[in-house]
Amino acid sequence: MIFRQIRELLLGFAFVPFLIQPVFAHTVWFEYKDGEYQLVFGHPELGAEPYDSAKFRGATAYDITKQLVPVKIDQQSDPVIVNPDGEIAALTAFLDNGFYVQKSEGNFEEVSETEAQTYNPDYEVGHYVKSTKALYDWSNQLSQPFGLPLEIMPLQNPSGLMIGETLPIQVLYQGNLIKDALVEYEGNTLTLDENGIASILVGEGGLQPIEASYETALNSDPAADAINYTTTLTAKPIPEPSTLLGLGAFSLLTFLRKRKLKSAD
């Protein structure tokens, strides 16, 4: 009897991370597939998962000067598809993942906003908002904040970084630098220095989605005790070797020259 109870207790602890993970670790980011920009949901290091497209709250496209580019959105599909009507340099998007109530340790249940008000303040209730920023080009305008509630700021051009290079980033909350955000990259938590800077090391797969999350208390909200923001930054990867082989000699030399000039900066 005692051994069975111990076994059940250990199994319970083993499943706690899986109960917590859907609330705290899920995020959104853009993937370019089949000629479309797909807003996917899940864990970047594990891959995309199905989600309710009704939680999508909008997307915005920008050109190289940060002017708006019209978009066509297919919100009926999973994932949501965003098709810009013109050449773009950046995309942003929002997804409201809703309200979750913690009824016991490690046990979270999604509820409606009305239901959340009945649970709060007797139970811990959180509101979870996801956002993302994708950079496909670089300019002085694109290096400035886009106004996301929580935003990852690259301190240099993130596009085309080579293996072994690092990208310094900072995190803004409501436009202000914060030094206590949780920053993750490829499933690992990164340390922020005294200036709130984290260094992203580019591996063999190129620059992967960078994640950041931050939670703040809601003192006067009837539905939730706190709001948790999760955001990601993605950037255009370097061309694959097969792509470079397909370039003309002039284009290939131009690409290599740019890489050399970048290394000399």
Nearest to 134 by CA among 122, 124, 125, 142: 142
d(C-alpha 215, C-alpha 220), whole Å? 15
CB-based contacts of 214: which residues, under 8 Å, 6+ apart? 150, 171, 173, 178, 180, 181, 182, 228, 229
The pLDDT value recorded for residue 110 is 95
Comparing 238 with 183, the larger pLDDT belongs to 183
DSSP-derived pairing of the beta strands 210-217 and 182-185? antiparallel
Q: Give percent of the chain with pLDDT exceeding 90.
A: 71
The pLDDT value recorded for residue 223 is 96
Question: What's the average model confidence in pLDDT over 159-180?
Answer: 95
How does the average pLDDT of the chain come out, rounded? 85
pLDDT at 6 over 60: no
Count of beta carbons in the 10 Å neighbourhood of residue 2: 6
- Compute the Cα dihedral for 36, 40, 45, 49 and give only its sign: negative
Comparing 120 with 20, the larger pLDDT belongs to 120
Question: What's the average model confidence in pLDDT over 56-69?
Answer: 98
Model confidence at 260, pLDDT cuts 50, 70, 90, reads very low
pLDDT at 209 over 70: yes
pLDDT at 109 over 70: yes
The neighbouring-strand residues paired with 135 are 90, 235
pLDDT at 1 over 70: no
pLDDT at 203 over 80: yes
Q: From the centroid of its chain, how far is CA 124? A: 25
pLDDT at 53 over 50: yes
The pLDDT value recorded for residue 13 is 35
Are 131 and 95 contacting, i.e. CB atoms less than 8 angstroms apart? yes
Model confidence at 11, pLDDT cuts 50, 70, 90, reads very low
d(C-alpha 46, C-alpha 199), whole Å? 22
d(C-alpha 81, C-alpha 53), whole Å? 10
Question: What's the average model confidence in pLDDT over 172-180?
Answer: 97
pLDDT digits (tens, 9 = 90+) for 118-163: 999 899 999 999 999 999 999 999 999 999 999 999 999 998 899 9
The pLDDT value recorded for residue 25 is 62
Both tokens assigned to 64: 């190289």
pLDDT at 264 over 70: no
pLDDT at 5 over 70: no
Q: Where do the DSSP E strands lie in 10-51?
A: 27-33, 36-43, 47-49
The pLDDT value recorded for residue 239 is 47
The pTM for the full model equals: 0.81
